Amino acid sequence: MATDQAQDDSISDTYGEFRSRVERISSVEDAGGVLRWDQEVVMPEDGTPARAQQLSTLSSISHELLTADETGDLLEELEAADLDDEQAAVVREIRRKYERATSVPEELVAEISETTATAHPEWKQAKENDDFEAFAPTLEKLVELKREYAEHIDPDADPYEVLFADYEPYLDLETAERVLERLRDELVPLIEAIDGSSAEITTDAFSGTFDDDDQEALACDVLDSLGYDWSRGRLDTAPHPFSTGTQFDARVTTRFEPEDLLGSITSTIHEFGHANYTLGLPDEQYGTPLGQSRDLSVHESQSRLWENHVGRSRAFWDHFLPIARERFPELEAVTPEEAYESANQVSDDNLIRVEADELTYHLHIVIRFEIERALISGDLEVEDVPEAWNDKYEAYLGVRPETDAEGCLQDIHWSHGSFGYFPTYSLGSVLAAQLYAAIEADLGDFSADIRNGEFDALNGWLRENVHRHGKRYTTPELIEEATGEAFTADYFLEYVAEKYGELYDL
Amino acid sequence: MATDQAQDDSISDTYGEFRSRVERISSVEDAGGVLRWDQEVVMPEDGTPARAQQLSTLSSISHELLTADETGDLLEELEAADLDDEQAAVVREIRRKYERATSVPEELVAEISETTATAHPEWKQAKENDDFEAFAPTLEKLVELKREYAEHIDPDADPYEVLFADYEPYLDLETAERVLERLRDELVPLIEAIDGSSAEITTDAFSGTFDDDDQEALACDVLDSLGYDWSRGRLDTAPHPFSTGTQFDARVTTRFEPEDLLGSITSTIHEFGHANYTLGLPDEQYGTPLGQSRDLSVHESQSRLWENHVGRSRAFWDHFLPIARERFPELEAVTPEEAYESANQVSDDNLIRVEADELTYHLHIVIRFEIERALISGDLEVEDVPEAWNDKYEAYLGVRPETDAEGCLQDIHWSHGSFGYFPTYSLGSVLAAQLYAAIEADLGDFSADIRNGEFDALNGWLRENVHRHGKRYTTPELIEEATGEAFTADYFLEYVAEKYGELYDL
């Protein structure tokens, strides 16, 4: 007994030391998050040189803390010990980060970071000039560097699988691929059917010109209405809306275009979903993986659940249209049904991902996924990307980009070296539908709640079944715990078939 | 020759390593500065727990980097080498920081930091309740801890001198004391003479109620007019206005009270002076002491120069009143002379430092200086502070506080453990006058420039003679370089005698 006690105390000391180390790393990372928010939202334009130095210092400090021998020693000691579930989850998560960070040589990390730093302005320039060839050499270098990166982490694995796991560590690529293939195979005919439908839905309920300040007031109304906790958040504008922060301070950004009122409403709801997840993480676990959100697909499931299942529902417009009319009396003549239809119009002649509707969006993603997989495997050469891109747009969406600027140069991601990121957008939507079906199974139909602007039950369910767990469970475990099932595209496909079948009389 | 070359290369390598280390420490400190700006200006109210953890982590990381053996070894090696002037200045500044940081035991640093963390809300509560006794035990503890702190740094020195040097490392306390005594001895009779003067000056040119948004627009006009570089700065509001940042991003905050338009104008000019100094530091020295401002008195000289010598000058109101009238047509009937007089009224029945005029301000400082010196030396007990405070107000200003809330509890500084900070406010004003006299000697009378809103020559002089040097010179050296003389109160006393003599017909 005495020996057991002494051993427990020793483990408890070791775990305490480990936890302090982990919290320290998180604090440095979170400080970087504040600096990045500042850079995107409030920093004066010429602040970049100092900010770049501050961010690179913080990033190298957190990298050094993570990869230090002490971290490895503590991990080994704890892995050999008898830990409770929460401790074991923290050790699992840090082990994974540690392995990735220590496998890649510092010089390669530095080279990737330098290359992406210059790739970003090069991509921007190439997009402006519609000049893919100007960007091609850099893209080629990035592909090579990221292949090399993957090789260091796991020389035996498919390199794309390794890269994908940077964004989605626990969902295996095979599952992801199966889901994306199903989306492609089932959405292409659905969209074709919509295109051929003679149903006429309202598309212009929100046409007009809308004042920025009034749009901002309405964005606050959106957040108020969904129950955003202003004592732990704020709303600002940013050219590319995002959400960032911690459970104590999770901020939303949005943007206002005079002729796109609907866009600012849906973007605000989307970012609310992200921030709301962050705000549901447990306070007392701040600084450890148990107080941090699961990865990109789960995060995106939260934003898409609110944006699509709530914000694009018929009930939501019963609730929200009167609020919108307070700010914009010109909406007086619009009916909730018209608002609902306008928020759900499907259009397959759109070339731009970020402007896509709830259905065609996933074909944009599938195209990027197929192309980046082939690029990384070597089945596709960089020089052949534009043609492959355009062919796929023609095949899946029936529309062919006339320029690379509105084709394969449209997205920033590859200039960041982010190969494997795109799929998480679609996986998040698919998961949102699976979660929503589980919520309806648990709570019954709660469209009446939405109609009354009452979101407590919905949010309570998400808090209980998703948010409060942080990274306690792996993603497949979390999905299983929350929904009782493995990850599946069934619910998403059912949801869109029903919703769009009804809207377009299919 | 070959050997010399090898030695030069080796020093250059060592200096390069040292400089990287110094830049790394600065980047972490500057990241902390961004987090503090965020906390004061934009952070949601419940963000504190995470922010406190982030800030304390950054502060302990920069402390560890500074006090590491590697820093000490590099310093020793460089001090034995043949360095150029700039390198020698960087080594001198870091040596000083290193000595202070390594002399004080970590536990004492932690205890001071914990005590001040709780002292702040205690002080706030005590001030609200006008209950000095509730705060006294904490104040006593802080006095003891700071004595102990000083003892570790230099057991042979006057502990107050050691504390003062935390804020003003190179001006010796004897000089500071001599200046403050002269201020007391000469300002007390000057203020009495003003009080007894029969001259009637305008005091109400800015009476009225002024809209916040219009005040904000006017504060932007102030900054535009003085030449603030918006591509490297921004304006926000904060309950206690401050300025912070780097040469790439130096931000101003101000505040708006509906009935205090003049206060927001002068406070904006004051903070502009601070930010303008920061913006004048050399870009290429970012991250080293050569790219950092000298200490508190020099910083305050810049804010006071702009606030008082420019912003409270007769010429300034010729220039600025028309601009103010554009925002506030109700000022139409006010003349520049009336605005000037209102901005310079002296009132000795004000108990509150932050509301004081340009003359009585320094008596508020002298009182704090005398009391905190006596507290640290042990000549005054904490329990006797209220009486000593009130007696001095009666003696120097002829007015006795009726409560401790408007007496010795009014300022936050002691709750931070900041003993030795107050004098730098007055020393800054005194230095501002000395600099201004040197500028007039160099440039001639340039009130015509001010009248025309033309500040390039003035700012050019400050850039050339003060800003661009960073910490290259010690404070006395910098003053000597810029003005050709040692630090002296002569110019300040001449300036106030002439200005107020004329205003009040003395």
Look at B248 and A48 and tell me if their CB atoms are within 8 Å. Answer: yes
Interface mutation target, options A22, A27, A39, chain B, most CBs of B under 10 Å? A27
Distance from CA of B415 to the nearest CA of A (A): 26
B52: domain range? 2-103
A35 to chain B: which residues are within 8 Å by CB?
A: 31, 34-35
Please name the residue that has the structure tokens 């299942």. Answer: A309
Given A31, A49, A232, which is nearest B58 (Cβ)? A31
Distance from CA of A246 to the nearest CA of B (A): 8
Distance from CA of B153 to the nearest CA of A (A): 29
Catalytic option among A93, A161, A216, A271: A271
Measure the CA–CA gap between B151 and B372, rounded to whole angstroms.
Answer: 17
A56 to chain B: which residues are within 8 Å by CB?
A: 27
How many residue pairs bridge chain A and chain B with CB atoms within 8 Å of each other? Answer: 116
- Domain assignment present for residue B300? The answer is no
- Domain assignment present for residue A62? The answer is yes
Average pLDDT of chain A to the nearest whole number: 96
Distance from CA of B229 to the nearest CA of A (A): 10
- Domain assignment present for residue A457? The answer is no
B43 to chain A: which residues are within 8 Å by CB?
A: 249
Distance from CA of B87 to the nearest CA of A (A): 21
Measure the CA–CA gap between A190 and A195, rounded to whole angstroms.
Answer: 9
> pLDDT tens track of chain A, all 506 residues?
456 777 778 888 999 999 999 999 999 999 999 999 999 999 999 999 999 999 999 999 999 999 999 999 999 999 999 999 999 999 999 999 999 999 999 999 989 999 998 898 999 999 999 999 999 999 999 999 999 999 999 999 999 999 999 999 999 999 999 999 999 999 999 999 999 999 999 999 999 999 999 999 999 999 999 999 999 999 999 988 999 999 999 999 999 999 999 999 999 999 999 999 999 999 999 999 999 999 999 999 999 999 999 999 999 999 999 999 999 999 999 999 999 999 999 987 889 999 999 999 999 999 999 999 999 999 999 999 999 999 999 999 999 999 999 999 999 999 999 999 999 999 999 999 999 999 999 999 889 999 999 999 999 999 999 999 999 999 999 999 999 999 999 999 999 999 999 999 99
Number of helical H runs and strand E runs in chain A? 20, 3
Look at B54 and A48 and tell me if their CB atoms are within 8 Å. Answer: no
Q: Which helix (H) or strand (E) holds A1?
A: none
Per-residue confidence (pLDDT) for residue B499, from 0 to 100: 97
Measure the CA–CA gap between A259 and A61, rounded to whole angstroms.
Answer: 45
Q: Which helix (H) or strand (E) holds A236?
A: strand A235-237
Interface mutation target, options B20, B56, B213, B248, chain A, most CBs of A under 10 Å? B248
The answer to whether residues A417 and A115 touch, using CB atoms and an 8 Å cutoff, is yes
Please name the residue that has the structure tokens 């998403």. Answer: A492
Within 8 A by CB and 6+ apart from B203, the residues are: B341, B342, B345
> What three-state secondary structure class fits B460?
helix
Please name the residue that has the structure tokens 């206002």. Answer: A256
Instruction: List the structure tokens of B170.
Output: 């190179």
- Domain assignment present for residue A430? The answer is no
Amino acid symbol at A94: I
Burial of A60 (0-12, 13-18, 19+ CB in 10 A): middle
B30 to chain A: which residues are within 8 Å by CB?
A: 50, 54
Instruction: List the structure tokens of B3.
Output: 């050997």
The angle formed by the CA atoms of residues A126, A132 and A135, to the nearest 5 degrees, is 65
Measure the CA–CA gap between A137 and A140, rounded to whole angstroms.
Answer: 5
Measure the CA–CA gap between B264 and B274, rounded to whole angstroms.
Answer: 15
- Domain assignment present for residue B138? The answer is no
Average pLDDT of chain B to the nearest whole number: 96
Is the Cβ of A52 closer than 8 Å to some Cβ of chain B?
A: no
Given B46, B54, B247, which is nearest A30 (Cβ)? B54
Look at B58 and A27 and tell me if their CB atoms are within 8 Å. Answer: yes
| Per-residue b or e along B424-444, where b marks 16 or more CB atoms closer than 10 Å to that residue's CB | bbbbbbbbbbbbbbbbeeeee
Look at A46 and B231 and tell me if their CB atoms are within 8 Å. Answer: yes
Given B35, B50, B249, which is nearest A248 (Cβ)? B50
B230 to chain A: which residues are within 8 Å by CB?
A: 44
pLDDT in tens, B174-192: 999 999 999 999 999 999 9
DSSP E strand stretches across B227-385: 235-237, 243-246, 249-254
Measure the CA–CA gap between A30 and B38, rounded to whole angstroms.
Answer: 13
Q: Which helix (H) or strand (E) holds A243?
A: strand A243-246
DSSP state at residue A443: H
- Domain assignment present for residue B6? The answer is yes
Residues 284-323, chain A, touching B (beta carbon < 8 A): 286-287
- Domain assignment present for residue B153? The answer is no
Closest among B367, B363, B316, B364 to B340, alpha carbons compared: B316
Look at A49 and B286 and tell me if their CB atoms are within 8 Å. Answer: yes
pLDDT at residue B1 above 80? no
Angle at which helix B490-503 crosses helix B423-443, to 10 degrees, equals: 80
> What three-state secondary structure class fits A406?
coil
B23 to chain A: which residues are within 8 Å by CB?
A: 53, 57
Measure the CA–CA gap between B144 and A240, rounded to whole angstroms.
Answer: 53
Given B54, B283, B286, which is nearest A27 (Cβ)? B54
Catalytic option among B168, B216, B271, B300: B271
pTM given for the model: 0.95
In chain A, the number of structural domains is 1
